[in-house]
């Protein structure tokens, strides 16, 4: 069934589900929710996507615990989550939800990991948007046991680049990534430069220290799934800090 899910997902959708623990590769975790009934307070977050609708992620989003967030390397990844009906009667049986990682759920060292410190290491925990969470759990439960798998991300349109920074500091937010959903490595090339390595600054933001103003920019990205794509001259020479440029190219894995 898991393989079928990968092909049936369209962005973030609710799917029918029949769970058989004996023949599955699902990982146990727990899930709570935040952000209000409309999910509006989930906008922004530690990945840097700001408006999640504009960035391509929508309302079915999730904040990851330390063990899953991986210092931002998991930003943009997709997970299909189901409630563990064998451990809770607060599940909505036969449902699943696919969510995108857009935020970090920090540890709470003042509370024990089994009583409020849900995001403390080494717990695998998902703090989901309330609309996403309510697809699989009954509201009054607050927290539910779940199973999850990382799955392929399906995005509408191509990869997007937002150029921030100043002078000799370029900070590039890369959003709307399909396939594995996240970046392993990245470099930039100006009209008058060779390829320049970029480094993760925070979340989905990558930086380099070069004078690139006035040059068209190309980006070379390797996804965490191992796919290598070059986005040739995707940013025109007249770019300014704060602008976003959308491409037609997309990752498959």
Residues 130, 180 within the same domain: no
Per-residue model confidence as pLDDT tens digits over 46-58? 999 999 999 999 9
In a domain, residue 5? The reply is no
Provide, rounded to the nearest whole percent, the portion of the chain with pLDDT above 70. 91
pTM listed for this prediction: 0.90
pLDDT for residue 15: 40
Q: What's the CATH code of the domain at 236?
A: 2.60.40.760
Residues 144, 37 within the same domain: yes
Integer Cα distance of 26 and 136 in angstroms: 16
In a domain, residue 70? The reply is yes
Residues 41, 125 within the same domain: yes
> Which tokens sit at 125?
């925990």
In a domain, residue 79? The reply is yes
Of 100, 128, 151, which residue is a domain's last? 151
Per-residue model confidence as pLDDT tens digits over 143-155? 999 999 999 999 9
Domain that holds residue 33: 27-151
pLDDT for residue 66: 96
- Total domains present in the chain: 2
> Which tokens sit at 62?
């999730």
Residues 164, 208 within the same domain: yes
Residues 51, 137 within the same domain: yes
* Full DSSP string of 199-246: EEEETTEEEE----TTS-EEEEEEETTS-EEEEEEEE-TT--TT-EEE
Q: Is the dihedral of CA 142, 148, 150, 154 positive or negative?
A: negative
Of 151, 175, 191, which residue is a domain's last? 151
In a domain, residue 213? The reply is yes
Which of 85, 86, 102 has its CA nearest to residue 94?
85
Residues 203, 169 within the same domain: yes
Residues 141, 172 within the same domain: no
Q: Which portions of the chain are predicted below pLDDT 50?
A: 1-21, 23
């Amino acid at each position: 069934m898991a393989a079928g899910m990968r092909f049936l997902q369209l962005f973030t959708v609710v799917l029918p589900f029949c769970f058989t623990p004996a023949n599955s590769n699902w990982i146990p975790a727990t899930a709570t929710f935040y952000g209000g009934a409309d999910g509006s307070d989930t906008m922004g977050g530690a990945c840097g996507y700001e408006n999640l609708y504009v960035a391509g992620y929508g309302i079915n989003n999730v904040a990851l615990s330390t063990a899953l967030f991986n210092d931002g390397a998991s930003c943009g990844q997709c997970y299909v989550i189901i409630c563990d009906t064998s451990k809770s009667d607060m599940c909505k049986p036969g449902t699943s939800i696919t969510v995108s990682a857009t935020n970090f759920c920090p540890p709470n060292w003042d509370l024990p990991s089994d009583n409020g410190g849900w995001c403390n290491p080494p717990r695998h925990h998902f703090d989901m948007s309330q609309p996403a969470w309510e697809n699989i759990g009954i509201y009054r439960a607050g927290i539910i046991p779940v199973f999850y798998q990382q799955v392929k991300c399906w995005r509408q349109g191509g990869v997007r680049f937002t150029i921030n920074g100043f002078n000799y500091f370029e900070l590039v937010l890369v959003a709307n990534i399909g396939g594995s959903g996240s970046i392993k490595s990245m470099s930039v090339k100006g009209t008058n430069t060779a390829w320049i390595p970029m480094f993760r600054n925070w979340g989905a933001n990558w930086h380099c220290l070069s004078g690139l103003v006035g040059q068209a920019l190309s980006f070379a990205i390797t996804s965490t799934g191992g796919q290598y794509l070059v986005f040739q001259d995707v940013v025109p020479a007249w770019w300014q800090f704060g602008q976003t440029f959308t491409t037609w190219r997309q990752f498959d894995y």
